[in-house]
Structure 1
């Protein structure tokens, strides 16, 4: 990791010096000389940085970082299942709404609970839920006192 830090520091120093020369001395008669000295300085600093770098440690560190990145995968299967169940409950709510059944659809303990506004809609809702729910468990709760 030290090798990476030294390379990054070298690049920063080179860029800073070049920028400072350009900012503080933008237009002058010595521009070709400054550019030549700057180019030589950049080449010299780059060669020192390359020569001073421990390439074996650098390669080992990069390999370690790349192999460590692949091992830290997180398990999102529970979250994925929860999203799927939520989407299923929302789809059931829409199907019931399209059929003209007023109901509240909630997901409780991985079971789709349907609370009907009108108890008379129970048989039609049961038929729709049998065909629409698939493997999702559901429960119909006759809500409200409306006939």
Structure 2
């Protein structure tokens, strides 16, 4: 998967998540918040962002391998860094805008998972990039 495809898929997923979140933001409820266990519109964006971070972590792990298609000679480290950065920034944005805590359906847990997975992805991508520069330099 190229960086261009990863960015396009991320943008499409986020636009879909924002489109689903708009009607929920327009409706104001005066009832007490009930615990929600299903996939709500507030959970969709952070969940997709966490999946981007997970994808980046997997690519970063594959980039640390000495040989193969995603080895340290290919684009794997850059893809892991890009996916990690996207995940950290969007996860932080979702965490900052979420109302309520875990279990309210606002996606705070998914946002924190996205930040953690994004940091792991960036760390693995940085390690693989450092390994690649040591080998070529």
- With the length of structure 2 as denominator, give the TM-score of the two structures: 0.30
Q: Which has the higher helix share?
A: 2
Please identify the structure whose Cα radius of gyration is greater.
1
Q: Which has the higher strand share?
A: 1
- With the length of structure 1 as denominator, give the TM-score of the two structures: 0.28
Q: Which has the higher contact order (CA 8 A, sep 6+)?
A: 2
